[in-house]
Structure 1
């Protein structure tokens, strides 16, 4: 995997996570856990 593909993948995953937070924010008791999971994965 090239560096540019890797960077694009990272951007897409971050976007996905932000969308999930926006869609389901009322369903999460602790959103910080979701943010932590993003950076630990």
Structure 2
């Protein structure tokens, strides 16, 4: 159990950073779409 703890912490950190990266990329995508829609009009 104690040996698995570092892996759990690492996995948790990895998951959080992935989640943050996903949020950032989706926001970037959203902003790009808004920009494209604005220039298309």
Q: TM-score range by the shorter chain?
A: 0.5 to 0.7
Higher relative contact order (CA 8 A, sep 6+): 1
Figure out how many residues of one structure are paired with residues of the other and give that number.
28
- TM-score for the superposition, normalised by structure 1: 0.57
Gapped regions of structure 2 (runs ≥ 5): 1-13
Q: Where has structure 1 moved over 4 Å in runs of 4 or more?
A: none
TM-score by length of 2: 0.57
* Aligned-residue CA RMSD (Å): 2.3
**Structure 1: runs of 5 or more not aligned:** 28-41
